Amino acid sequence: MLKSKMLIDKDFQIAEVDPRVYGSFIEHLGRAVYGGIYDPGHPTADAQGFRQDAIEAIKALNVPIVRYPGGNFVSGYNWEDGVGPVADRKRRLELAWWTIETNAVGTNEFADWAKLAGTEVMMAVNLGTRGIDAARNLVEYCNHPSGTYWSDLRISHGYKDPHKFKTWCLGNEMDGPWQIGAMTAYEYGRIANETAKAMKWVDPEIELVACGSSSRDMKTFADWEATVLDLTYENVDYLSLHQYYNNNKDNTYDFLATSLDLDQFIDSVASICDFVQAKKRSKKKLMLSLDEWNVWKSIGTSRMEERWQIAPPEFEDVYTHEDALAVGCYLITILKHADRVKMACLAQLINTIAPIMTENNGAIWLQTTYFPFLHASNFGRGTVLRSITSSPKYDSKDFTDVPYLESISVHDEENGTITIFAVNRHLDEAMELNVDLRSFGETTFVEHIVLENNDLKASNTKENPRNVLPHNGGHTTVDQGKVQAVLNKASWNVIRLKTKQA
């Protein structure tokens, strides 16, 4: 059996977890909105058409913030089309995904849905075909109490109280040639800065996210960030990162090592932010918003061949056990960067590259990736600890010195709990994990949750929704502050412990 170790000290702290790192994303893309959260013909739909079975699955994830309405969609979106009486709303050609947008769901409906789902809204503004004027008007419509044209228009639409959306994205992936209104870094930095000023003049309480590179693979990466931040630094609060991975080359060891790439990407962007801070001699340290991340197998295919459908199924990837392991590794990587990554959005939440799947007017089921996200969101609250680990390593096609053990621990002092998240990347051998927790004094075992399957390609489907499920039969013992656990081959593990309260 492989041997690995962790030394965890309560004083070796990285940072407090911002709950918003367990955020997600819903775009007007595919069946995320229509057929996903909104399905008026479904037996569980409420008076507004929102599926209650979907809401319950989402509430269980404890998602604190959801990015909306895009994504590529937002760069051609006129927000005014989605407010007011539904019968009067215009149908539009949606150019990002070559569909027809009915606008049956818009800003106010999504705000209502967010309340039902127990989450906040991360609102995005269109900096592709529009700019300062539309953005400031949207802030006024959403956040100003009353007494002005746009706030009174909201009230006339049946929403007396302002939505008070706090977090706003300044466009989406504006470096991408696929984007409507794509820009150079200088062009984007100028319009983002002027838009940020106007939006904050309308509501000084909001916080703003500037677009970073669409991925680490963009030719303009790093130069884009440096230029954009040079132009926007004092008026924005976060810089975005987007990154997707897949195992389309069918090399599992290489795929499970991609969390090392994510780790380097985050470090690189943080370094660029710090460079600009030093250059400007600013006292403000910019934080990061990893507001698109996931496994995306169908990323190489874009848009429907048959144009101008309404909410066609797009990018409905079927996730496997190995995908769940990768998602677990990415979640651990995000927690390792809790000092800089303050928001993160699993993209997306339902139907479109998502952990939750639905059938129009029919069934709902949970994909394999649902479970590591569920565990991290519910048990990964508190302070992330900087553990000292040792593990056997391997080399893959694109990575060297990859530890078979990927792990992190979170201490919730208020509730007296320690949670260890761990992935055993070895596909054939179990791993013994020895953890030194003596700095916490007396600790007791709560449970050891395991997600495992002998078939790396096993998935959950409508026909077999319980094929890959976690169990709490993991083997862990605790004795005088020392933990000994067995991490089965190719497994995601959640080891929960209780500390003795003072």
Query: What is the number of helices (H) and of strands (E) in the chain?
Result: 10, 25
314 is catalytic: no
Identify the pLDDT of residue 461. 97
What pTM was estimated for this model as a whole? 0.97
Which distant-in-sequence residues (6+ apart) come within 8 Å of 22 by Cβ?
Answer: 61, 62, 63, 64, 344, 346, 373, 376, 377, 380
Please write the tens of the pLDDT for every residue from 306-324: 899 999 999 999 999 999 9
> Across the chain, what does the average pLDDT equal?
97
Task: Specify which residues 412 forms β-bridges with.
Answer: 417
Please tell me which residue in 225, 292, 322, 452 is annotated as part of the active site. 292
Identify the pLDDT of residue 66. 98
What band does 171 get if pLDDT is binned at 50, 70 and 90? very high
Q: From the centroid of its chain, how far is CA 436? A: 31
Instruction: Provide mean pLDDT across the span 34-58.
Output: 98
Instruction: Provide mean pLDDT across the span 149-156.
Output: 98
Identify the pLDDT of residue 302. 66
- For the ranges 26-40, 362-376, 488-502, the lowest mean pLDDT is seen at 488-502
DSSP 473-491: ---EEEETTEEEEEE-TTE
DSSP 141-174: HHH--SSSHHHHHHHHTT--S-----EEEE-S-T
Domains by residue range for the chain, with CATH = 2-11+384-499 (2.60.40.1180), 18-382 (3.20.20.80)
Identify the pLDDT of residue 305. 75
Reply yes or no on whether the pLDDT at 250 is more than 70.
yes
Please tell me which residue in 27, 173, 225, 314 is annotated as part of the active site. 173
Identify the pLDDT of residue 502. 43
Identify the pLDDT of residue 485. 98
Reply yes or no on whether the pLDDT at 117 is more than 60.
yes
Percent of the chain topping pLDDT 90? 98
What band does 148 get if pLDDT is binned at 50, 70 and 90? very high
Identify the pLDDT of residue 301. 80
Instruction: Provide mean pLDDT across the span 17-38.
Output: 98
Q: Kindly tell me the burial class for residue 158, based on how many C-beta atoms sit within 10 Å of its own C-beta (0-12, 13-18, 19 or more).
A: exposed
173 is catalytic: yes
Please write the tens of the pLDDT for every residue from 195-211: 999 999 999 999 999 99
- Tokens at 370, concatenated: 């649902």
DSSP assignment, residue 125?
Answer: E
Instruction: Provide mean pLDDT across the span 213-219.
Output: 95
DSSP assignment, residue 78?
Answer: -
Reply yes or no on whether the pLDDT at 173 is more than 90.
yes
How do strand 65-68 and strand 23-25 relate by DSSP bridges? parallel
Residue 451 is inside which H or E element, if any?
strand 443-451
Reply yes or no on whether the pLDDT at 2 is more than 90.
yes
Instruction: Provide mean pLDDT across the span 476-496.
Output: 97
- Tell me the CA distances in angstroms from 325 to 151, 345, 347, 406, 498, one per residue in order: 46, 18, 17, 10, 25
What band does 304 get if pLDDT is binned at 50, 70 and 90? confident
Q: Kindly tell me the burial class for residue 316, based on how many C-beta atoms sit within 10 Å of its own C-beta (0-12, 13-18, 19 or more).
A: middle
